[in-house]
Structure 1
Amino acid sequence: MFERFLHQTPFFRLVVPLMLGILFQIKFRLPSQYNPYILIGLLIISFLFLFLKLTASYNLNKIWGIVISLYLFFLGLELASLKQQKEYSFSDDKHTFIATLIEQPEEKEKSVKTILKLDLIKDSAQWTQNSSIVLCYLEKDSLSLQMNMGDEMLASAYINEPVHTGNPYAFNYKKYLSYKEIYNQCYIQSGYYQVLTYNKGSKVKLISNRLRQRLLNIYYANQIHGDEFAVLSALTLGYKSELTPEIKESFSTSGAMHILAVSGLHVGIIYIILCKLLFFLQRIKYGKYLQSAIIILMLFFYAFITGLSASVFRATIMFTFISIGKIFTRQVNIYNSIAASAFLLLLMNPYAIMNVGFQLSFAAVLSIVFFQPRLYSLLTINNTLVDYFWQLVSVSIAAQIGTFPITMFYFGQFPVYFMLTNIIVIPAVTIIIYGAFILFILSFS
């Protein structure tokens, strides 16, 4: 049975050794100078197997599979090693540097938080290039409150490594930042920086940020303010700057915190909405290709207007593979689609495997796919409305089965109201997303 599963899910066989290689390198930080030679050697051997048609033999085909697995394992080692080589430590002196804001600033109680990408740093009497990513806090004043993503600044500040408390069981903020490729932080006082130019950096992210700001202004124009604006903007556009600690605590306690982080739930709802709206395309020739193309484009557009966050992009990739799989097979193997999306995401960013959101997303989806049909089949309900609620309950229980160990490991708590909350939340979120998009369309018309 397991061999049949492996045969039906080729990407599962590919992603496992890649993951093991990444984790191995993160844990043990092995020297990597010989990795390129090993990768080239294994690649040549694998091509020789294909060129000489040795894979036709059952036993030699297994050896070829081992060679491919070893290649992916060492590829994982190399990808993680390349990330580790970007670590950079600054001296204890005060530094003068030119940097670009690569995230929209977020107002805090006494400061403005953002992420900087260094362009140049002054070393003695000369400027040298430096591409380090730095967590930055600007002293709150009239200038810092007007800063935007894409602003390039000249600044002077001490750049230090984040400090871990030392408690082995406490949240390690330094390690958390390192998996985002942020190894340093700084605090810039008022008067020690000035804006040089605007609209620097990734044009795609700049346009994405501007479009999201325009959509947020539509909420303001329709008299949506305060906590309502904070929740609605987080739920639909992934804008969480306005969320107060009280709102976060309320949603966390009730087990509904996941709806405030635009992620797989929201992308899944949009995917279902689009599938229902475009069902008629399946009746025409090549309609399924057109339907999948439109769905994929709209999902990426949603990722675009929500700021291209990692969680939305991850879910978009996952549903893209599911949609593509439906084109070529009548009954898509969901496990293979999930493994394919994980494989691509890890190739793009091997540190994604250490992201809690990445772990929760894939654990939840896999658990829903495996457990939900089994849980749902335990009860046979003839009433349509009751059956709908039982579907929601079975999905919620299935998701919690997969995410429970991760939630307890990282957060030490478990939302006991998750079933009741999700029965209310999922239909409500669906209606809110419908309403938000209707509002956006009417505002642009």
Structure 2
Amino acid sequence: MYMNSTLQLNPLVRVVAMLILGIALGDVLADVVGVRIWLGIFVVAVAAAFVAYNTNVRPMVQSLILFGCIIIGGALRMSMSVERSHFYFIQTSEPFSAVVSSMPVERTKTLRCELTIADGRFAGHRVYAYLPKGKDANNISVLSIGDGIVGYTQFLDIDDYSSQHSAYNKGGAYNMATHFDYQRWLKVHDIVARCFLRDGAWQRDVVQLDYLSGVQRVQLRCMTLREKLLKRYRELAISNEAYGVVAAMTLGDKSSLTAELRESFSVSGASHVLALSGLHLGILYALLVMFLGRRRHNILMLAFIIIAVWGYTAMVGMPLSLLRSAFMLTLFTFAQMLQRNNMSLNYLAFAALVLLLASPWSLWDVGFQMSFLAVLGILLFNDRLRVFVSHKYLETHPLVNWCFSMIVVSLSAQLMVAPLVAYYFGRFSCYFLLSNFIAIPLATVLIYLSVVMYALFFVPCLQGLVAIAVGWIAKALTLSLAWVSSLPAASVDGIELSNVQLWLVYLVVAVVYALLFYLEKIYKPFDNFRPRV
């Protein structure tokens, strides 16, 4: 009865579940059923739903027809995305104009960057551009995000190339993933082709952005600001290793992270600290709320918070994990105006609904999956695990409450994310609880000090002192996690899970949730605390 009431209070959960089913169906049948067929089926389904609503059809039948409409709509949206990402390639060079959308990365024989094509048949999409390390290398290396270039090149199919590089991640480092699908990763990030820019075949120029969407134009401008902030980081007294950590944790730039540092964070179970997610945006949100104080309930101040959240999200490249958090924080901010301060499954479902409708390929993004599953785990398990300890006792013992909350939140998220980490990366970090006790407080202080450091731009001497403190904290973080990763049995590696085994593991997690639900009914908490989810 309680489970059913939870679903009734969170109707978007069922909508998203049906949409995901439809997207998966559309992906499986992508080579068989085209957009026109799905559109015809969708029109028929909507007509059936309209007839059912205006007749005396049983409510259960109406619900089933409505769910069918959502499933078919998801399949239609997926089919449209597949068609949009399909291009034909010709054997000759063609003119192009584009905007640089990522800084050039040095590879073995070339420099690689991402270009957002500004006109033509690839307009609005991104391509990988490879540039030779020749006599013009110095000119190429100083390309910045937002620079316009024009020229002639031959666009090549990215799929013919991606299979040779599926073991490498975006930054060029080796990826341990056992089930990582590089071709899907490219589609998620809308990278549809590759090209080689020969010496003399391109030049800088002012490029019109009329064919780009408003979101793309705003994102390019915001990412240009990010490069200026990163440049300021490099000018301050921060060591190279500390700079890599600070740049990744505050501005989402992982290009300066060494392979050893990535491995240390991965083994210790603190990789989520390096990847921008709800943790980082939540810290910034809390800082804004603390700074505004009582004024945060003012409508103008709430609007300022929302603009700041989305501005930061755009500046760091709009990763899916951060978009999820931005949507949820926006809803939470609006809920505060209505005196409703509790997060719910509806918030999470709404964020998933918007992102999946905007880009169905997001469903297969590892960051998207982990971000949503981590929050789902917290919403489902957090209060249920807390129910067996007196709420009044925790309120009267703040330090115990903080430690217990850290343990419960970490376990709640890990229950949902650990199977996915084992599936994609073949690893389970045994000391993730210890790592979180170290990483999260240090990350919070580091982000706060980074904001203070930028705020002191008009006082260079104080800014330099804060930069030194930021470097020390980053160094302490890396040394601490390196120590955790060096402990005996720090991680279990070489795990291989099949698709069926992964689903069986999540079935076990569902059984654990049902067991906690049952124990809550027979166990009488000290202060009649009842979970909200």
* TM-score (ref. length: structure 2): 0.73
Counterpart of 1:195 in structure 2 is 204
Cα offset, 1:383, TM superposition: 4.0
Q: Is the 8 A contact 2:104 2:143 kept in 1?
A: no
Aligned counterparts of 1:115 and 1:14: Cα–Cα separation in 2? 35
| Ranges of 4+ aligned residues in structure 1 off by more than 6 Å | none
In structure 2, give the amino acid aligned to 1:81: S
Residues 335-364 of structure 1: per-residue CA shift (max 9 Å, x gap): 111111111111111111111111101100
Equivalence map 1:319-398=2 (5 Å): 319-328=329-338, 330=340, 332=342, 334-379=344-389, 383-398=397-412
Aligned counterparts of 1:289 and 1:195: Cα–Cα separation in 2? 44
Counterpart of 2:440 in structure 1 is 426
* CA pair 44-293 structure 1, distance change in 2 beyond 3 A: farther
Q: Is the 8 A contact 1:105 1:112 kept in 2?
A: no
Q: Is the 8 A contact 1:90 1:159 kept in 2?
A: no
Cα offset, 1:412, TM superposition: 0.8
Aligned counterparts of 1:175 and 1:162: Cα–Cα separation in 2? 13
* CA pair 102-352 structure 1, distance change in 2 beyond 3 A: farther
How many equivalent pairs are there?
Answer: 429
Aligned counterparts of 2:339 and 2:7: Cα–Cα separation in 1? 17
Of 75, 82, 93, the residue aligned with 1:95 is: 93
Q: Does the alignment pair 1:148 with 2:135?
A: no
Q: Is the 8 A contact 1:164 1:172 kept in 2?
A: no
Residues 218-271 of structure 1: per-residue CA shift (max 9 Å, x gap): 323432341211111111111222222222222222222111121111112223
In structure 2, give the amino acid aligned to 1:5: T
Equivalence map 1:132-211=2 (5 Å): 133-140=126-133, 141-150=137-146, 151-157=148-154, 159-160=156-157, 161-164=160-163, 171-197=180-206, 200=209, 202-211=216-225
Aligned counterparts of 1:27 and 1:288: Cα–Cα separation in 2? 49
Counterpart of 2:36 in structure 1 is 33
Long gaps (5+) in structure 2: 168-176, 460-533
Q: Which moved more, 1:320-329 or 1:62-71?
A: 320-329
Q: Is the 8 A contact 1:135 1:182 kept in 2?
A: yes
* CA pair 80-389 structure 1, distance change in 2 beyond 3 A: same
Q: Is the 8 A contact 2:222 2:311 kept in 1?
A: no
* TM-score (ref. length: structure 1): 0.86
Counterpart of 1:112 in structure 2 is 111
Aligned counterparts of 2:106 and 2:251: Cα–Cα separation in 1? 20
In structure 2, give the amino acid aligned to 1:154: G
* CA pair 310-385 structure 1, distance change in 2 beyond 3 A: same
Equivalence map 1:71-82=2 (5 Å): 71-82=69-80
Aligned counterparts of 1:307 and 1:43: Cα–Cα separation in 2? 37
Q: Secondary structure in 2 aligned to 1:197? A: coil
Aligned counterparts of 2:407 and 2:274: Cα–Cα separation in 1? 20
Q: Secondary structure in 2 aligned to 1:101? A: strand
Q: Which moved more, 1:328-337 or 1:368-377?
A: 328-337
Q: Secondary structure in 2 aligned to 1:144? A: helix
Q: Is the 8 A contact 1:134 1:184 kept in 2?
A: yes
Equivalence map 1:222-301=2 (5 Å): 222-281=236-295, 287=297, 289-290=299-300, 292-301=302-311
Of 303, 310, 316, the residue aligned with 1:306 is: 316
Aligned counterparts of 1:108 and 1:383: Cα–Cα separation in 2? 53
Root-mean-square deviation (CA, aligned residues, Å) is 2.9
Aligned counterparts of 1:333 and 1:385: Cα–Cα separation in 2? 24
Cα offset, 1:170, TM superposition: 5.6
* CA pair 331-213 structure 1, distance change in 2 beyond 3 A: closer
In structure 2, give the amino acid aligned to 1:354: W
Q: Secondary structure in 2 aligned to 1:243? A: coil
* CA pair 372-228 structure 1, distance change in 2 beyond 3 A: same
Aligned counterparts of 1:90 and 1:190: Cα–Cα separation in 2? 26
Aligned counterparts of 1:100 and 1:440: Cα–Cα separation in 2? 32
In structure 2, give the amino acid aligned to 1:12: V
